[in-house]
Amino acid sequence: MHLRRNGQSLPPAEPESVKGHGSGSGSGSQDDGGDAKAPVRPRRGCYFSLAFSIGSMGLACGSLWQIPNTTDRITLQRGLFLTSLGFIYFVSLTDFCNKYLLETRRGQEFRRKYRLMMSDVLEITNKIVSAIQASFSFLVGLIVCKSTCTKSFVYASHFLMEAYGWFGTAYFMYDIWSMYKVHTQKIADKLHLLRLTKGQAQGHGTSSIVNGHVRSNCEAGANGRASAGGNNNGSTPGTPHEICDYDGACVQIPKDGRWDFLKYVLTHPVMMIHHVFIGTFGLLVVTYIRGGGHCIYSYMFMMEFSTPFVSLRSILSTMRLKESRVYIANGLLMLATFFVCRVCMWPYVMWRYSLAIEAASLWAAMSGLPRGCLVSIAILFLPQLYWFYLMVLGALKVFLPKGRPPATLKNGSGAAAAAAAAAVAAEVTATTTPTSPIAIINGKN
């Protein structure tokens, strides 16, 4: 079978190098755009996972059916039971999505159509589950808001808020591991593509190709390491196992291509703090410690209204549909909903709170809050400002693209001009060769 990305054809893949670092559900896939008549694996495991997912959600809903009053508390035992069901639900839902894309005929057709590698499948699955969780969160927040905010903005409570607080805790813990698996698979796929590049260059016996940069065998031999596999940004690795990660960070990875989980956590501090804070302290305050003020917390749950648009944007990007109208329209909706639900939401809640306690001003209301509460608000709110800033920069790049400045030469010598022209010609040749895998490395962005 052959790998295909952006219209480029590749030599037969090494299945174990691509499939060996994915999730358990995807570890058996060898198809990255292979033969359309490839045999389809049995689907029992796929729908077995779906049954587990539906069953766990059904048990969670059934455990709440017997609660008589909306103001009743969720006991610790029931809460732990809901958290356990949450883990089962999100893990089995992820397993179903992975197996559907990897093992069913329709899933394989979808992968071939959009030339998806294993890491792309895991990325899409992660975003689908994220969008589903966000939809549940928004729905719970909306129901609780309508039920409690008309009673007491500060003290009203609703059992559904506590119940989903326990259930949703499982998602944030699961999502850390899910993002880690996507991260490792992207590195594994990148290493596989670099090996293909190296093998193809050695087969021609003239030059090695790294991200569109041509290196002669003499230069590779002089460097001592370049022929062993250059970085995906064209630079020379510092050690035999150093590679530039897909997000641009220079990282060290073992020979098997796996990424150390602790190092992943330490190199993604903003996301880790957000997930750990929301998944543990944030939701436990709602569920077990606070026991009230659910009208205020319902707005925090409704902040997730923007997440499905963020997830859809990532999915469309993975499918290489950045030029489509759907991508642009979704981007505008994402920007608008994120600004309303995540940037403007907390100032609005604090304003409502100042009215409820009849404070002299918004600043006076915030000054009266405990220091721990202020720190919690800062941890929750400041990352939203940072992410919104990144979104605005991305939108400006889409709607106000800047043309590349013409190349200039510091020294106007004929030799320099000839060398630059030769380098450009070599790079164009490398990136447009039908059998070159460089389009795969560059195609995602």
Q: What is the DSSP letter of 25?
A: G
Mean pLDDT to the nearest integer, 139-154: 91
pLDDT tens for 206-261 read 444 443 334 444 334 333 433 333 333 333 344 444 444 434 344 444 445 455 78
Higher pLDDT, 432 or 69: 69
Q: How confident is the model at residue 144 (pLDDT cuts 50, 70, 90)?
A: very high
CB-based contacts of 293, cutoff 8 Å, min separation 6: 154, 155, 156, 157
Question: 248 in a domain, yes or no?
Answer: yes
pLDDT tens for 63-75 read 998 888 888 888 8
Question: 90 in a domain, yes or no?
Answer: yes
| Residue 102: other Cβ atoms inside 10 A | 27
User: Exposed, middle or buried, 371 (CB in 10 Å: 0-12/13-18/19+)?
Assistant: exposed
pLDDT of residue 90: 96
Question: 233 in a domain, yes or no?
Answer: no
pLDDT of residue 445: 38
pLDDT tens for 157-211 read 899 998 998 999 999 999 998 998 898 888 888 888 887 787 777 766 544 444 3
Question: 369 in a domain, yes or no?
Answer: yes
pLDDT of residue 34: 41
pLDDT of residue 11: 42
CB-based contacts of 315, cutoff 8 Å, min separation 6: 123, 124, 127, 128
- Collapse the DSSP code of 143 into the 3-class scheme (helix H, G, I; strand E, B; otherwise coil) and give the result: helix
Question: 183 in a domain, yes or no?
Answer: yes
pLDDT at 427 over 90: no
Question: 405 in a domain, yes or no?
Answer: no
pLDDT of residue 430: 34
- Of 282, 291, 284, nearest to 72 (Cα)? 291
Higher pLDDT, 423 or 348: 348
pLDDT at 439 over 50: no
The structural domain count of the chain equals 1
Question: 151 in a domain, yes or no?
Answer: yes
Q: Which domain holds residue 89?
A: 44-197+240-399
Q: Which helix (H) or strand (E) segment is 4 a member of?
A: strand 4-5
90 and 179 Cβ atoms separated by less than 8 Å? no
Question: 213 in a domain, yes or no?
Answer: no
∠ Cα 261 20 129 (to 5°):
65
Mean pLDDT to the nearest integer, 263-276: 81
Query: Distance between CA atoms of 36 and 27, rounded to whole angstroms?
Result: 20
